[in-house]
Structure 1
Amino acid sequence: MLDTTPLMDAVTRFADRLRAAPQSRLQKGAAAEGLALARELATRAQRIEEPGREPRRMPDAGMFAVADQLVVAGRDLALALTDRDGLGQAVDLVEQAHRRAGV
């Protein structure tokens, strides 16, 4: 079984920062960055779990729900991953998005 702790740690750090961010920071792009990442992680999980099926798009539940959406998508991907390459790519995606969000 693949140890996905690095992915979940990165997702949790970013989600915690989004939860603690002021509304003004969320409105200036941090929430959009978090939602884009959550959607990408969810898409990757769906492609692993249901190959050949068009992935469903995660809805925009609002800037105050983005952190929770990110955690759910990260956990889904962590459960679906089977290889270290995919894990490393996912961790990199999270870290890059976290930096871009500026939180």
Structure 2
Amino acid sequence: MTRLANRKKFDEYLNLQWQKLSREKSPISLLLCNVDFFKNFLHADDHLKTDKCLQLLATEIKSVVKRSTDLVARYENKKFAVILANTDSQYLFM
């Protein structure tokens, strides 16, 4: 629905990058995005609206992740995750 990687793909990719980057002694960053107050929105009868909201969130998150080595995934119902290979914290908040 969100056209993002699923949790299984996330787990596999994180493991792969963790092993690769640890051998190279390179950094890895992980962002977890939780949508607050989404439960209130889910109580609405319009499931299409809920799906559209998740799709818009996924699109926005994906739009800021540019590198092919990075991965944006749907982590859980209202959570998204981003794996940023070769990225340490000093670059995250610039």
Fold-level match, TM-score > 0.5? no
Q: Which has the larger radius of gyration?
A: 2
TM-score, L = length of structure 2: 0.39
Instruction: Please state which structure has a larger fraction of its residues in helix.
Output: 1
Q: Which structure shows the higher strand fraction?
A: 2
